[in-house]
Amino acid sequence: MLKIEKLKARLRETGEEILKGVDIEVGKGKIVAIMGPNGSGKSTLVNVIMGNEKFEVISGKIEFDGQDITDLPTHERAKKGIYVSFQHPPEVDGVRLASFIPMVLQKYHPDDDTPIPKLRKMMGETFKRVGLDESFLKRHINVGFSGGEKKRAEVAQLYIIKPKLAILDEIDSGLDVDALKAISSMITELRNSGIGFLLITHYPRLLHHLDVDEVKVMVDGRIVKSGGIDLALEIEDKGYEAVGV
């Protein structure tokens, strides 16, 4: 599904090279986790996959479902089924979630003709499942949400939209234990239906609840180590230096 090859990218404004040759593959129904020290380029990778104009691809390739998407505009990438939850979900004043979500759903699934009342009911149920009262749907996107509420709302949206690939940047940050469990069970359900996941995290606590296929470590713009959940545990226990990265 997602195949990234030898990807190098720089910050347009300064020319600084941040991604220095990244290779990653995420297949259908697979969960790949990326860990790595602060500032190693994880969120930059997310932005580059989504085609953020702030960054420029120097060389390498991003393929999705066998198609080269390296130069596609962001909305085209979304249309292909790539969903991103950013580390800092933006606040959008003036747009209610209740009208935003159906609009996004149409972008991902133009043929979806779920009647509005049914969709509303489903949105309410999904919000409840992540521990958010239905009244959150009436609120403007992320405005005044707590850190954990933003992350819960992101997963609810992902669950409703059902993309082909979900890229979640620190979705576990700020989540309480109950939210972590609820969200893990939703991610598992989605992966079992064939959705692929690229999860960026600093802690193995989310990975404990999931059957992760691969853990990759990014340091200074490169993937320097790959392994399973054991690698995540070793990093938590001993730190990056001790595991030889």
Ligand X SMILES: Nc1ncnc2c1ncn2[C@@H]1O[C@H](COP(=O)(O)OP(=O)(O)OP(=O)(O)O)[C@@H](O)[C@H]1O
Q: Which residues bind ligand X (CB under 6 A)?
A: 11, 18, 36, 38-44, 54, 87
By a kind-dependent CB cut-off of 5 to 8 A, residue 173 interacts, out of ligand X, Mg ion, none, with none
Q: How far is CA 105 from the centre of its chain?
A: 17
Shortest CB 141 distance to ligand X, Å: 22
Q: How far is the CB of 169 from Mg ion (least distance, A)?
A: 6
The site map against Mg ion for 215-244 (x = CB under 5 A) is ------------------------------
Nearer to ligand X, 36 or 81 (CB): 36
Please name the amino acid found at residue 5. Answer: E
Question: Dihedrals φ, ψ of 163, to 5°?
Answer: -75, -175
User: Under the criterion CB under 5 A, does residue 173 sit at the interface with Mg ion?
Assistant: no
136: DSSP letter: G
Nearer to ligand X, 42 or 105 (CB): 42
Q: How many CB atoms lie within 10 A of CB 28?
A: 14
87 binding Mg ion? (CB under 5 A): yes
Report DSSP letters for 37-73, one per residue: -TTSSHHHHHHHHHT-TTEEEEEEEEEETTEE-TT--
The interface partner of residue 11, options being ligand X, Mg ion, none and the CB cut-off 5 to 8 Å by kind, is: ligand X
Q: How many CB atoms lie within 10 A of CB 230?
A: 10
Closest to ligand X by CB, 34 or 69: 34
74 interface partner picked from ligand X, Mg ion, none, CB below 5 to 8 A per type: none
What strand order describes the sheet that includes 214-219?
82-85, 165-169, 196-200, 31-35, 214-219, 222-227
Query: With binding defined as CB under 5 A, does residue 43 bind Mg ion?
Result: yes
> Which spans of this chain sit near Mg ion (rule: CB under 5 A)?
42-43, 87
